[in-house]
């Protein structure tokens, strides 16, 4: 008898359309508690659109969205209020407020916590900054003073500010050199395991998939075409999936994983 897994994100029949362009149609997906799910697909398949749909930045024309047991489509603002502080989002390049220091950026979500005095808020922000591997001095810097990798880490610190159950990451290693990307992969994996996070990770980076993801969901043909482990993806008989997981970059990523 197989053990039933705890579904923390449940999508059914999602339909996203912009004008005449249908991005998603009848899309279903389950994300399980504690896993790192990598979401991949070709250009225009709506990977980031799907992330934004779950967190409420994109309203689908149809479908059901259930997060942590709350029906976000039928429950409206009341349901979203229940989960807003239980997830964190890191957009590409960190999406930091340029006029705020790193510490002030991380404090933004904490300002919604009742009865949290400024000193405690700053101390909690410093804790999150250190958790993502930034030095204590980074808290006083502005985004323009940081490298790309440091901005991404600062964005991750802000996503972790409220001790979420779920973290959404949009192309977290895009633009990083191979060493920086590998270090960020290790950071994501370590935080997920130590904090018990569920991670929804949009990426095109095969190294990230092989290094940290427990499962992969492939977007194609306006839906989740297939989901499963990396090993299962290698057995899928579909042209795009086959080319993606059997091409030279996939072989290099697999070799790199075997060397770690």
Angle between helices 102-110 and 148-159 (to 10 degrees): 20
The CATH code that applies to domain 7-259 is 3.40.50.300
Residues 6+ apart with CB under 8 A from 66: 7, 9, 10, 11, 72
Alpha helices in the chain (DSSP H): 47-55, 76-83, 102-110, 118-131, 148-159, 178-195, 206-212, 230-233, 239-246, 248-259
3-state DSSP assignment of residue 226: strand
pLDDT tens over the chain, length 260 residues? 445 789 999 999 999 999 999 999 999 999 999 999 999 999 899 999 999 999 999 999 999 999 999 999 888 888 988 898 999 999 877 689 999 999 999 999 999 888 899 999 999 999 999 999 999 899 999 999 999 999 999 999 999 999 999 999 999 999 899 999 999 999 999 999 999 999 999 998 899 999 999 999 999 999 999 999 999 998 999 999 988 888 666 656 556 565 54
Structure tokens at 256: 């790199």
Residues 6+ apart with CB under 8 A from 205: 171, 173, 174, 181
Q: What is the pLDDT of residue 170?
A: 95
Q: What is the pLDDT of residue 1?
A: 42
Q: What is the pLDDT of residue 2?
A: 45
Cβ atoms < 10 Å from Cβ of 230: 19
Give the domain ranges of the chain.
7-259
> Could you tell me if 219 and 16 are in contact, meaning their C-beta atoms sit under 8 angstroms apart?
no
> Could you tell me if 91 and 132 are in contact, meaning their C-beta atoms sit under 8 angstroms apart?
no
Q: List, in sequence order, every beta strand (DSSP E) within 33-76.
A: 36-41, 62-67, 70-71
> How long is the chain?
260
> Could you tell me if 69 and 20 are in contact, meaning their C-beta atoms sit under 8 angstroms apart?
no
């Amino acid at each position: 008898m197989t053990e039933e897994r705890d579904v923390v994100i449940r999508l059914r029949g999602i339909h996203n359309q912009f004008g005449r362009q249908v991005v998603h149609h009848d899309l279903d997906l389950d994300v399980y508690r504690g896993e790192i799910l990598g979401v991949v697909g070709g250009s225009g398949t709506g990977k980031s659109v799907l992330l934004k749909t779950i967190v409420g930045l994109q309203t689908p024309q149809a479908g059901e969205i259930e997060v942590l047991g709350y029906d976000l489509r039928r429950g409206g603002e009341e349901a979203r209020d229940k989960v807003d502080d239980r997830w964190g989002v890191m957009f590409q390049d960190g999406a930091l407020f340029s006029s705020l220091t790193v510490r002030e950026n991380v404090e933004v979500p904490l300002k919604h916590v009742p009865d949290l005095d400024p000193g405690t808020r700053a101390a909690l922000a410093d804790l999150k900054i250190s958790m993502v591997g930034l030095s204590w001095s980074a808290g006083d810097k502005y985004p323009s003073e940081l490298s790309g990798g440091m901005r991404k880490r600062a964005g991750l610190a802000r996503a972790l500010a409220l001790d979420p159950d779920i973290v959404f990451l949009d192309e977290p290693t895009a633009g990083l050199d191979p060493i920086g990307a590998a270090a960020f992969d290790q950071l994501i994996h370590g935080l997920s395991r130590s904090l018990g996070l569920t991670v929804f990770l949009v990426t095109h980076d095969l190294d990230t998939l092989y290094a940290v993801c427990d499962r992969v969901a492939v977007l194609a043909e306006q839906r989740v075409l297939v989901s499963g482990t990396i090993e299962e993806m290698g057995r899928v008989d579909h042209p795009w999936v086959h080319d993606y997981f059997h091409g030279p970059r996939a072989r290099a990523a697999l070799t790199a994983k075997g060397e770690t």
